[in-house]
Amino acid sequence: MQLLKDRIRKDGKIKEGNVLKVDSFLNHQMDVKLFQEIGKEFKRRFEDEEITKILTIEASGIGIACVAAEVFDVPVVFAKKTQTKNIAGDVYTTKVESFTHGRVYDIIVSREFLGKGDKVLLIDDFLANGKALEGLAELVKKSGAELVGAGVVIEKGFQVGGDIIRSKGIHLESLAIVESMDEKTGEVVFRN
Ligand SMILES: O=P(O)(O)OC[C@H]1O[C@H](OP(=O)(O)OP(=O)(O)O)[C@H](O)[C@@H]1O
Ligand SMILES: O=c1[nH]c(=O)c2nc[nH]c2[nH]1
């Protein structure tokens, strides 16, 4: 998606530890007009699929998933990283190691909002080591719903997540795949 690649080149900052900082438009301050274009692009890429629900994970996936959900005209559910009293008990749960927090979370989704008959599209802002998408796919499996595919805004292609998700046979669409990035020069190279 050229608009997105141009924006990453213009406003992205490369930090140590394989971190691409895009918090001026994607995952802290959010450019909702860009999100709308991203939502339409996901819709175009999953045009032939029947989707009844979008599933994401807090925190950074939520904004983008909400805008995409409006384009798909389906509800969005997010997996929570912290236990809360009001949904304790009837939940699907699995473990996810957070890329930026450096710790493992027991993520949870209420059984009320995911189950047999749902056709689920996973949406997230980043794909790095694949832990978040693997965790979400596991929740879908536990729920008996059907996993239709996964859409991510930025895949860091030099990390293992993309290969892991594709090797599981999951239909993965990444709107920008970063092949390499250089902390010293600030250069970002995209796949294709
Ligand atoms: O492919 P992975 O290695 O799982 O990396 C991708 C995940 O990392 C980030 O979440 P993180 O928990 O780091 O931060 P957040 O709370 O801001 O979403 C991002 O939002 C993705 O969910
Ligand atoms: O802002 C972010 N930049 C990244 O490089 C990244 N990888 C996973 N999650 C991420 N979030």
The reported pLDDT for the residue numbered 4 is 98
Q: Point out which residues pair with 13 in neighbouring strands.
A: 21
Ligand 2 centre from 69 Cα, in Å?
22
Is 137 one of the annotated binding-site residues? no
Interhelix angle 61-72/32-45, nearest 10 degrees = 60
Question: How far does residue 161's CA lie from ligand 1's centre (Å)?
Answer: 11
Instruction: Over range 130-149, report the average pLDDT.
Output: 98
Residue 100 CA, closest ligand 1 atom number: 13
Two structure tokens written together for 121: 């599209």
- Quickly state the pLDDT bin for 85 (edges 50, 70, 90): low
Task: Count CA atoms closer than 13 A to 104's CA, side-chain side.
Answer: 6
What is the per-residue burial (b if ≥16 Cβ within 10 Å, else e) of 103-130?
eebebbbbeebbeeebbbbbbbbbbbbb
- Number of separate domains in the chain: 1
Q: Could you report the per-residue pLDDT of 36-50, keeping only the tens digit for each?
A: 999 999 999 999 999
Q: Which atom of ligand 1 is nearest to the CA of 98?
A: 12
Q: Is 192 annotated as a binding residue?
A: no
* Phi, psi angles (nearest 5°) of residue 65: -65, -35
Residue type, 83: Q
Answer left, alpha or beta for residue 160, where phi above 0 means left and psi between -120 and 50 means alpha.
alpha
CATH number at residue 25: 3.40.50.2020
Q: Find the residues whose C-beta lies inside 6 A of ligand 1.
A: 57, 59-61, 98-101, 124-132, 161
Residue among 146, 158, 192, 155 at smallest CA distance from 175: 155
Instruction: Show the domain range for 137.
Output: 2-190
Q: What is the best residue among 27, 60, 122 to mutate for testing ligand 1's pocket, by most ligand atoms within 8 Å of CB? A: 60
* Ligand 2 center from residue 128 Cα (angstroms): 7
Asked whether the predicted pLDDT for residue 86 surpasses 90, the reply is no
ipTM of this model?
0.99
| pLDDT tens by residue, 172-190 | 999 999 999 999 999 999 9
Q: Which residues line ligand 2 (CB under 6 A)?
A: 19-22, 27, 99-100, 126, 128
